[in-house]
Amino acid sequence: MKRTFLLFSLLIVTVLCGFHASDAYREVENENFGPGEVIEYRVHYGFINAGEGVVKVSNQIHKVNNRPCYEVTAFGRSVGAFDWVIRIRDTWKSYIDTSALLPHRFHTDVQEGKYRKQETVYFNHPSRTIRSEEKNNETKEFQMPPNVQDILSGYCYMRTIDFNRLNPGDVVPIPAFFDDKLYDFKIRYRGRDEVKTKFGKVRCIRITPVMPKNEMFDGESSVRVWLTDDKNRIPVKVEADMFVGAVEMDLKNFKGLRHKIAFE
């Protein structure tokens, strides 16, 4: 279970690259989410609850680097018997440019068993540099390619993608920065599907992150993600084949969406 919620957040980092030569910041049309949105998830092994998570967009718009930004916060915690095995209380917060949907500042506060991590990452897109400041560690600096995302800004940008332009099997490259590393992730679009949720059945877009070799997930196609096939494009279900067994994340509750979901 160690760092499970962090890795689940990474699953839904789906980014398409675009860059304006005349400006450090691209412009992304966003009709998919906005201030006041709250989405809750349940993480479970079969019928056994293991944890829960919340992704929240603040009602207020913040200024960072003189740019208007969404404040997006994700919380993850273990529950039930799993809370006795390893106590997880994780928080991530990102300030995301409202026009470019790129991160300006990313905060991490991870508490998993005895493991602790507090870090702030600063993104300077005009100079293409990143500064990472972790508590009790030295400051680090990195060079970055255009339009690098953190785990929350990637989640938000994913929801603006027009999947109608992709064919099943198409692979999308993903520039991302996480845990002091730059990643060239890839996402494979799998087509449309229907998913049963506690609110009813819903038409979905199915994607598969092409996972890099790691200690948590069993194979490069071990994770499957379903997004609502509407303008909201919220993840309603995630399945992951992990070395410790199959784990699922399901939609638990939501409010403040910009569009009504057509559950049947």
Does some domain include residue 236? no
Closest residue by Cα to residue 100 from 196, 28, 174, 40: 28
Does some domain include residue 229? no
Helix axes 4-11, 151-158, angle to 10 degrees: 30
Closest residue by Cα to residue 263 from 234, 242, 240: 234
Q: Is 223 exposed, middle or buried (0-12, 13-18, 19+ CB in 10 A)?
A: buried
pLDDT value at position 123? Answer: 97
179: Cβ contacts below 8 Å, ≥ 6 apart: none
* 255: β partners: 38
pLDDT value at position 220? Answer: 58
Gyration radius of the chain over CA positions: 18
* Domain of residue 112, residue span: 4-182
Q: Are 185 and 171 in contact (CB under 8 A)?
A: no
Whether residue 17 has pLDDT greater than 60: no
pTM: 0.87
* 253: β partners: 40
pLDDT value at position 173? Answer: 77
Q: What pLDDT band is residue 10 in, cutting at 50, 70 and 90? A: very low
Query: Mean pLDDT over all residues of the chain?
Result: 86
43's tokens: 């993480």
Does some domain include residue 239? no
Does some domain include residue 238? no
H-helix or E-strand spanning residue 111:
strand 103-112
Whether residue 35 has pLDDT greater than 60: yes
Does some domain include residue 191? no
Distance CA 208, CA 248 (A): 14
Q: How many domains does the chain have?
A: 1
Does some domain include residue 74? yes
pLDDT value at position 46? Answer: 79
Mean pLDDT of 54-71: 97
Q: Where are the alpha helices (DSSP H) in the chain?
A: 4-11, 80-85, 151-158
121's tokens: 């990452």
Q: What pLDDT band is residue 131 in, cutting at 50, 70 and 90? A: very high
Whether residue 11 has pLDDT greater than 60: no
Cα 57 to the center of its chain, rounded Å: 13
Does some domain include residue 120? yes
Number of Cβ within 10 Å of residue 199's Cβ equals 14
Distance CA 206, CA 68 (A): 32
Higher pLDDT, 214 or 254: 254
Reported as a single tens digit per residue, the pLDDT across 159-207 is 998 889 999 999 877 789 988 999 887 788 999 999 999 999 999 999 9
pLDDT value at position 158? Answer: 84
Whether residue 241 has pLDDT greater than 80: no
Distance CA 95, CA 98 (A): 9
Does some domain include residue 136? yes
